[in-house]
Amino acid sequence: MRKMSQDSKLKVQIEHGGFKHTIEGEPEKVLRAISQYIAEIYPAYDIASKLIYSPDYLALLEEISAFVNLTRDGQPILLRSDLSTDQAVATILLAAQVALKLGKRVSDDVQLEDITKAIGKAQKTIQNTLTEMSKAGIVERVEKGSYRLTAAGTREVQETLKTLGDAGDRNLEGGRKPGS
């Protein structure tokens, strides 16, 4: 892959079996076109991609941006105080995962103290929430005091935040604030 200029255009050339295919445009469109092209060449890829959960991090970034921002070094900043404790914890862990994919973090696990600081609730509350989320298979303990989302947790949190974001959009269209 080669980045063309600062205008966010991407140009990719695929060479396969004597064929050359060039795709050029906005990064999101180029990535989708590559996926479609591969699905045409390898029909099994299309079937497998429907069975295997692989987050679309570009879409995910858009979905979570109303809930959390990242500092330059990849630390999550929670933007919404109306989330339940488990939603807030999951949002922080999802942001850490996205930050890892963006190259802003070296790991997607987050220390209990950092989660507590980001959310602003008592450490015992966060600890109890993480224990319940771990039992439910949403998070996993990486080491003492360090947690990350499981693949199932990533999917569940993505769906929850999308639903919350859609509900917030409908409330704003009706003149109400989210959570009121």
Domain encompassing residue 142: 57-173
The answer to the question of residue 180 being in a domain is no
By the 8 A CB rule, do 148 and 97 touch?
A: yes
Note the pLDDT tens digit of each residue in 73-112: 889 999 998 999 999 999 999 999 988 888 889 999 999 9
Q: Please report, rounded to a whole number, the percentage of residues in the chain having pLDDT higher than 90.
A: 39
Whole-angstrom CA distances from 93 to 64, 85, 124, 138, 161 are 11, 12, 17, 10, 13
Is 29 found in the same domain as 104? no
Is 73 found in the same domain as 20? no
Q: What was the pLDDT predicted at 138? A: 95
Is 46 found in the same domain as 84? no
Q: How far apart are CA 93 and CA 10, in angstroms?
A: 30
Split into its structural domains, the chain has a count of: 2
Q: Which amino acid type is present at position 154?
A: T
Instruction: Give pTM, 2 decimals.
Output: 0.68
